[in-house]
């Protein structure tokens, strides 16, 4: 396939990084859709999108979800990234570049906001029916206890069996304190609920999608 043909094909977008992100340290990363979907960068001035050829039939299969997550984890370990949710496809490189240039200021501001920070997801699961009677109070308590240890906190959509599903943006140098606090809060709920943290991870819930 020639470079010109590649530029006019739909691309699957993993995320946005700054132009100086050390992307070149990643080699042979495979994207969504199979072994031929090699990951590459689409530069546009001060920022760049990390992409791969879009599969003809995009479905949320486990292997593709894991491939999406792996690419973003690798990028994030090297520097700040604005991760896209699974399934974001741009019509072609030229339209993607135009959107990156249009939103460059917003993307750079967002990258600055997540530099040196990571997301932690916290779930509070009720152990039995009686525990659900205290659900609202326990959820508020957990949020109140964890917010001082984070830059931002936001409740997410309901999750079956959980009284709270929340995400927190945490400074890397406060991550240990945050995770320790999760354990401490878990111990204060008298066994009614269990508090569990998942992360650190890329800041999925603290960035806006391309074109937002």
Give the pLDDT confidence of 143-199 residue by residue, as tens digits: 999 999 999 999 999 998 899 999 999 999 999 999 999 999 999 988 888 999 999
For residue 68 the two structure tokens come to: 């999406």
What is the pLDDT averaged over residues 7-16? 89
Q: Assign 11 to helix, strand or coil.
A: strand
How far is Cα 111 from Cα 91, in angstroms, rounded to an integer? 24
- pTM, two decimals, is 0.87
pLDDT tens, 88-129?
Answer: 999 999 999 999 999 999 999 999 999 999 999 999 998 776
Strands (E), 91-183: 117-126, 152-155, 162-171
Within 10 A of 55 (CB to CB), how many other CB atoms are there? 17
Question: Are the C-beta atoms of 68 and 81 separated by less than 8 Å?
Answer: no
What count of residues does the chain have? Answer: 212
Question: Are the C-beta atoms of 142 and 155 separated by less than 8 Å?
Answer: no
CATH 3.30.70.100 fits 117-206, yes or no: yes
Range among 11-25, 119-133, 138-152, 197-211 with highest mean pLDDT value: 138-152
Question: Are the C-beta atoms of 12 and 82 separated by less than 8 Å?
Answer: no
Query: Where along the chain do its domains lie?
Result: 3-114, 117-206
Residue 7's pLDDT band (boundaries 50, 70, 90)? Answer: low
Question: Are the C-beta atoms of 83 and 15 separated by less than 8 Å?
Answer: yes
For residue 46 the two structure tokens come to: 């001060």
């Amino acid at each position: 396939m020639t470079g010109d043909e590649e530029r006019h094909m739909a691309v699957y977008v993993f995320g946005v990084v700054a132009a100086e992100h050390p992307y070149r340290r990643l080699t042979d990363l495979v994207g969504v859709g199979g072994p031929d979907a090699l990951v590459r960068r689409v530069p546009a001035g001060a920022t760049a999108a990390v992409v791969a050829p879009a599969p003809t039939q995009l479905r949320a299969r486990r292997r593709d979800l894991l491939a999406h997550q792996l690419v973003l984890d690798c990028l994030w370990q090297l520097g700040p990234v604005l991760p896209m949710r699974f399934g974001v496809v741009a019509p072609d490189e030229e339209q993607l570049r135009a959107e990156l240039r249009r939103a460059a200021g917003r993307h750079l501001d967002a990258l600055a906001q997540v530099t040196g920070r990571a997301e932690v997801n916290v779930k509070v699961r009720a152990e039995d029916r009686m525990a659900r009677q205290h659900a609202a109070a326990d959820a508020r308590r957990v949020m109140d206890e964890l917010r001082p240890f984070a830059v931002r906190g936001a409740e997410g959509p309901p999750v079956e069996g959980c009284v709270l599903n929340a995400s927190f943006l945490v400074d890397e140098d406060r991550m240990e304190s945050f995770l320790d606090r999760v354990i401490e809060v878990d111990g204060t709920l008298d066994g009614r609920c269990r508090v569990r943290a998942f992360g650190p991870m890329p800041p999925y819930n603290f960035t806006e999608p391309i074109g937002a």
